[in-house]
Each structure stands twice: as C-alpha cells, then as structure tokens.
Amino acid sequence: MSLKAATQYYHHGRFRVAGGIIPNAITAYRTYGAPKNPCIIFPTCYGAKLDDSGLVPQTYMIGKDKALNPEKYYIVTFALFSNGESSSPSNTSFPYNGPYFPAVSYADNVRAQYVVLTKKLGIEHVYGVVGFSMGGQLAYHWAVMYPNYIDKYVCICGSARTSPHNKAFLEGPKAALVASKDFDNGHYTQTPQHGIRAFSRVYCAWAYGQTWFRNHGYLQNGLYTSMQDFMREDWEAGYLRAWDANDMVTLLHTWQSGDVSSVKDNGDLAKCLGSITAKGLIMPCKTDLYFAPEDSEIEIANMPETARLVIIPSVWGHFAGGGSNAADDEFIKNEVIAFLEA
C-alpha cells in the first residue's frame, strides 16, 4: 500500500492558547487508510514533520507490515503547533510572528486536533492514540481530556509530566541557541547557523544511551567516519535543513511545560492518573536520558488497573522509540499490535 498522502490544513480562525491568541490558527494533518476503519491518532514528536523532512520520519510506524496498518486502521497524523507545518512562529504573520508567537500547551494541541477530527473528518470515536516522545505526552493528554472519546493510548518514550531532570536538560540546548551571536533574540533575518548548530550538538549528546556511544553506535555501521561527521551530517544538517529557530524554541516550551494534571486535578498527578479510564501501554526505554523508565514506573503505580508498563530493552536511549533501528522497531511493533488487538 502506498504511503503517499497530501498534507491538509484545517483553519480554526481565532484560537485561544496558553500564551494568548493565534489569529488564524492552522492544524496540519494527513490521513492513511479508509475512514470506515477504527481511527488511530498519531501526532508528531520534537523534530518530526508530517512530510518526513524532519529529524524523525513521521511514517516510520505506518505500513502494512508495521505497528499501524492502514488496511486495519484509519490513521490521522497531526503536526503539533510550532513544528513549522501547523501554526508556528515561522508561518504566522505579524503581530504574532517570530518571537511574538504565543506559548502553546499540549492541551491546546489536543483541543485543536479534536476539532479537526469531529468537525472536519466526522470521527465520532477514536480507537487509540499512539505517540513517541512529545507525541507520547500528547497521548496522555488525550486520555485525560477526552476520556469518553478514546479507548486506548500508547506512550512510547514519553511521560505524563515532564520531570525536573528533563526540564533541566532542555535548558541546555535552548540556552545554546538563544545565547548565540546570530539568534538576535529571535529577530534574525537569516538562518542563525551558529545557534542551531550549537543546539543540535547539545541535544544530540542526550539523545542516545551511554552504551550506544561507548560502542561507537554513532558510526552507523560505517556510514560516518567519526563522531564529528555524525553530529554535523545527522544532527546539524537535520535541523538546518528543515527547522526554524523560533519554532524550535516555542515547541521546546510546550515540551517543558507538559503536565496532564495541569488540565485536571490542579497539579495532583497521582489523582489525575488514577482517574484515567482508557487502557494504556507505557513503553519507556531503559537507557532513555530524557524520559527515564523510573518516571514511568511511578506513573504506572497510580493506574495499576488500566495501564501496562513495557520497558524497551535497548542501548539506543530515547531514539529507541523513534524508528532508529530495526530491532527496536520490531519490539515496539509487536507490543503495540498486541495491545491494539487485545
């Protein structure tokens, strides 16, 4: 089955978000499969774009022989606000362009996506939400915000609340970008190469497990000749090719502020998680330095009857969940298929 799909755009008009108003908000999305089939929501993560031009390919889990089969499900992929496809600092006109773009929360994204599903696509019920990283955090928000609308959710290398350790890590690449000599407080007139390259190198160092680096996994079986080649060609080029610096900062803020209990139960995470009725599959990686498995274990303890914890036994760190290697892809595929078909 061909995975060719055109990006579509839903125009919300004025849309209120955490930091104010987006005057003509747009949600970008693609669909795969027949609308008569059970619907699966598959949102983007940090670095991903619907057209696969980002650092992480959005279609890596979609296909006849993959976790999300378009012959069985109607798959809707959504671009998060600030990823450059949905409304973002880079594509919004003044007075909300660039550094003036308002802060956006996960809850804002979920509300916008719900409108697209119900008003545009006519989806009365969603069978499941599957997400990696930021997409996994969004899956948690779906389960909390629309408990009667979805049946299941899968969080791969994500969390219900961004941990203090995760927030502190994110300050590193953000500081490298915004303090660069060419970022100009977000008022740059050409690509701030110094800032984006610095951001990429700080971000890269945390993306993979220590064992992966120790075993020279960055050489990618001969694709690269050194760590410098890997960082320059894979990470620097990835963000320079497809990303705007203000988009990167604004989307990072969404990640940092992630907390499902901020939309329900006034910050009481245990109470919020305990109220989730949808069935959950929580899949952290044992070597993830962003979303540590210990955080998932704490979350699971608050919803023992509705969610199941499966730790990905990988040396690839956070990127074990992002389609980086065949072994982890196969492990995740088998677990997700079994969960969705149960």
Question: Active-site positions?
Answer: 133, 288, 318
Task: Report yes or no: 195 and 182 within 8 Å, Cβ to Cβ.
Answer: yes
> Structure tokens of 68?
């999300």
Question: Is the preceding peptide bond at 95 cis, omega within 30 degrees of 0?
Answer: yes
φ/ψ of residue 145, rounded to 5: -80, -35
What whole-number distance in Å separates Cα of residue 175 and Cα of residue 75?
36
What whole-number distance in Å separates Cα of residue 153 and Cα of residue 16?
26
Task: Report yes or no: 22 and 10 within 8 Å, Cβ to Cβ.
Answer: no
Is 222 buried (19+), middle (13-18) or exposed (0-12) by CB count in 10 A?
exposed
Using DSSP's 3-state secondary structure scheme, residue 230 falls into helix
In DSSP terms, 20 is beta-bridged to: 17
What whole-number distance in Å separates Cα of residue 104 and Cα of residue 124?
26
> Structure tokens of 192?
């701030």
For residue 273, the tally of other CB atoms under 10 A from its CB is 26
Look-up of token digits 């740059």: 188
